[in-house]
Structure 1
Amino acid sequence: MLLIKFINMKKIGLIASLLAVLLTTSCGTKKIAELEEKQKQTQEKLDSATVKLNSCLEEKASLSATNNALKSQNDVLKSNNQQLINNMGDLTTLTKKGAENLEKSLESLREKDLTIRKLQDAVTRRDSVNLALVQSLKGVLGDLNDEDINISVEKGVVYVNISDKLLFSSGSARVTSKAKEVLGKVATVVKNKPDFEFMVEGHTDDDGVKAGASFKDNWDLSVLRATAVVRLLQDEFGVDPKRMTAAGRSQYVPVADNETKEGKAKNRRTRIVVLPKVDQFYSMIEEGMKDPSIN
């Protein structure tokens, strides 16, 4: 009996141990499952954190690169700013020099402008005198044929062209009686203009001189005719010889074609060139300089 009881108790203990083991094993499995789940969750969190960490590292690298680029740009801007400051200093210096040079240039221009105005005033005075001279000549010679005498102004000089048929016979250097009337009127005008000098020019056509003529060629003829006019103005009309010049131009300054009779007739002429005395012209300039309206 005692043995049976011992055996039964042993069975009961074994069964209890088995039950305890079973219970222990069941609880362990559950714990393991729970731990595995926690590990899984922890791994997921770790993976997520790793991803975020990598993203942050990439962003940090990008920001670091951007920061370096901005630093480089900042250095460049600082350098450019310093260069601009230096340039502004140079520009200020150049501007001062430029202003000084500009002022000098303006002063020079003002002086040149004043000189030009003075010269223009002198030229205007000269032109006014020439105009008065032309009017006087036209007044005393206005009744003559325009084909025989012509008065003009070219480049500040008064020209009186007189046809040879009024002054000389063909091939001759003797002044005709009709010419004396014309030259007397011219003398009256020029004598009243003592500030002018004039030159008497003889001109011919291109016909050669005739055999037995008293002069060698057209040079001789043009000079003899010019001196004949000058001599007449001096001897018979009292024109100051110091104001006159006699010149022969021969056939070499034609005003028309020598191929026609009409052209030859125009080329045979005596030209009186009336111009202000050089010293008188400069006096006119000096007077212009003293003019209060200019100064």
Structure 2
Amino acid sequence: MKLKHIVPLLLLTGVLAQGCVSNKKYAELQSNNTKLQQSNQELNQRLQDSEKEVSGSKIRIKGLEEQLASERSNVAALQTALNKCLASSNQGNVNISKLVDEINSSNKYIQQLVNAKNKSDSLNMVLTNNLTRSLSREEMSDVDVQVLKGVVYISLSDNMLYKSGSYEISDKAGATLAKIAKIIKDYQGYDVLIEGNTDNVPISKPNIRNNWDLSALRASSVVQSLQNNYAVDPKRLTAGGRGEYNTVASNDTDAGKARNRRTQIIITPKLDQFMELIGKAPEAPDKP
């Protein structure tokens, strides 16, 4: 056989061999692509949730700004009235004194609104930083932290907390619970509600009647772990189950069900601490 016939055969053999390798790589790449798409969907959902929270914050800020604008407008009107009183020789000193008091009261209220907004923003930032600074990147994928009006919401996925189909705490949950327990103990005056949630798939266990039972048992497991393993004062702890009825995503997809299967740790200031956080508006001056 001549050399010019041998070379094309060798090239054809090499192309065929390369084609087999490409099919394997293609299958691997396609599998990775599917995983990336699923991860992208979950990240998009978290982005949407964050955008909703940002939207709510903007609405609250707008409300405060509208109050500030209204009070400033009121001050301007009072100042105009005061100027008219000063310009008129027929007005008495009593009316002038009352106008001065009203202006001072309005200015004080404006400052309290500003302080309340700044304090709320600062508190949210401090609490969020304290809760997230000790969590690893891997832990953060199973832990969602939000701070709303001084209340801390820590959402933990069931994959991180429990053994599959069970309410027993898994071994890998210990490190994360230890960090959360430290934060809870740092805020001694706050109450802590542990709230279990499930998806809508019925549970079939001889000792668990339904998802109400499962969610309550899971919350109780976390409460007892915080008490027994991390010395959190049980007087501060409350366990509750909400079954499948407090969804944060659609149960029509596996990703949505995974988000709904969660346990929330809610760290809440007591009433007197709320009053300290938001401040108390001054009483309106008596009308003449």
Same fold by TM-score greater than 0.5: yes
Distance in 2 (alpha carbons) for counterparts of 1:202 and 1:106 = 56
**Which amino acid letter does the alignment assign opposite residue 167 of structure 1?**
L
Q: Which secondary structure state, in structure 1, belongs to the residue aligned with residue 133 of structure 2?
A: helix
Matched, 1:226 2:219: yes
Kindly indicate whether the alpha-carbon contact (under 8 Å) linking 1:122 and 1:285 is maintained by their aligned counterparts in 2. Answer: yes
Partner of 1:141: 135
- What's the offset of the Cα at 1:258? 0.3
Matched, 1:196 2:190: yes
Matches within 5 A, 1:251-266: 251-266=244-259
Kindly indicate whether the alpha-carbon contact (under 8 Å) linking 2:215 and 2:241 is maintained by their aligned counterparts in 1. Answer: yes
Pick the aligned partner of 2:170 from 173, 176, 181: 176
- Structure 1: unaligned runs, 5 residues or longer: 1-91, 290-295
Q: 1:287 to 1:112 in 2, by over 3 A?
A: closer
- What's the offset of the Cα at 1:104? 5.6
Q: CA RMSD in A?
A: 3.1
CA deviation vs aligned residue, 1:16-50 (integer Å, no higher than 9, x gap): xxxxxxxxxxxxxxxxxxxxxxxxxxxxxxxxxxx
Distance in 2 (alpha carbons) for counterparts of 1:109 and 1:219 = 56
Kindly indicate whether the alpha-carbon contact (under 8 Å) linking 1:226 and 1:247 is maintained by their aligned counterparts in 2. Answer: yes
CA deviation vs aligned residue, 1:230-286 (integer Å, no higher than 9, x gap): 111011101112222211111111111101111111100011112222222324566
**Which amino acid letter does the alignment assign opposite residue 189 of structure 1?**
I
**Which amino acid letter does the alignment assign opposite residue 172 of structure 1?**
S
Partner of 1:282: 275
Pick the aligned partner of 2:112 from 114, 118, 128: 118
Q: 1:262 to 1:116 in 2, by over 3 A?
A: same
TM-score (norm 1): 0.57
Distance in 2 (alpha carbons) for counterparts of 1:197 and 1:116 = 31
- What's the offset of the Cα at 1:126? 4.3
Distance in 1 (alpha carbons) for counterparts of 2:253 and 2:186 = 39
CA deviation vs aligned residue, 1:136-183 (integer Å, no higher than 9, x gap): 111111333443111122343221111000001232111111112111
CA deviation vs aligned residue, 1:177-217 (integer Å, no higher than 9, x gap): 1112111110112211223222111000001111x431111
- What's the offset of the Cα at 1:115? 4.2
Q: 1:242 to 1:120 in 2, by over 3 A?
A: farther
- 119-128 vs 165-174, which moves further: 119-128
Q: Which secondary structure state, in structure 2, belongs to the residue aligned with residue 111 of structure 1?
A: helix
Distance in 1 (alpha carbons) for counterparts of 2:206 and 2:101 = 67
**Which amino acid letter does the alignment assign opposite residue 186 of structure 1?**
I
- What's the offset of the Cα at 1:116? 5.7
Q: 1:116 to 1:219 in 2, by over 3 A?
A: farther
- What's the offset of the Cα at 1:96? 6.4
**Which amino acid letter does the alignment assign opposite residue 232 of structure 1?**
S
- Matched positions, count: 194
Q: 1:226 to 1:109 in 2, by over 3 A?
A: farther
CA deviation vs aligned residue, 1:66-121 (integer Å, no higher than 9, x gap): xxxxxxxxxxxxxxxxxxxxxxxxxx9xx969x95x98687557536534643553
Kindly indicate whether the alpha-carbon contact (under 8 Å) linking 1:198 and 1:245 is maintained by their aligned counterparts in 2. Answer: yes
Pick the aligned partner of 2:242 from 246, 249, 255: 249
Kindly indicate whether the alpha-carbon contact (under 8 Å) linking 2:127 and 2:147 is maintained by their aligned counterparts in 1. Answer: no
Q: 1:112 to 1:223 in 2, by over 3 A?
A: farther
Distance in 2 (alpha carbons) for counterparts of 1:141 and 1:113 = 43
Kindly indicate whether the alpha-carbon contact (under 8 Å) linking 2:123 and 2:150 is maintained by their aligned counterparts in 1. Answer: no
Q: Which secondary structure state, in structure 2, belongs to the residue aligned with residue 141 of structure 1?
A: coil
Kindly indicate whether the alpha-carbon contact (under 8 Å) linking 2:124 and 2:149 is maintained by their aligned counterparts in 1. Answer: no
- Structure 2: unaligned runs, 5 residues or longer: 1-87, 283-288
Q: 1:161 to 1:285 in 2, by over 3 A?
A: closer
Partner of 1:164: 158
The sequence identity of aligned pairs, in percent, is: 38
Partner of 1:207: 201
Distance in 2 (alpha carbons) for counterparts of 1:155 and 1:283 = 12
Kindly indicate whether the alpha-carbon contact (under 8 Å) linking 2:199 and 2:244 is maintained by their aligned counterparts in 1. Answer: yes
- 134-143 vs 214-223, which moves further: 134-143
Moved over 6 A (4+): 286-289
Kindly indicate whether the alpha-carbon contact (under 8 Å) linking 1:122 and 1:281 is maintained by their aligned counterparts in 2. Answer: no
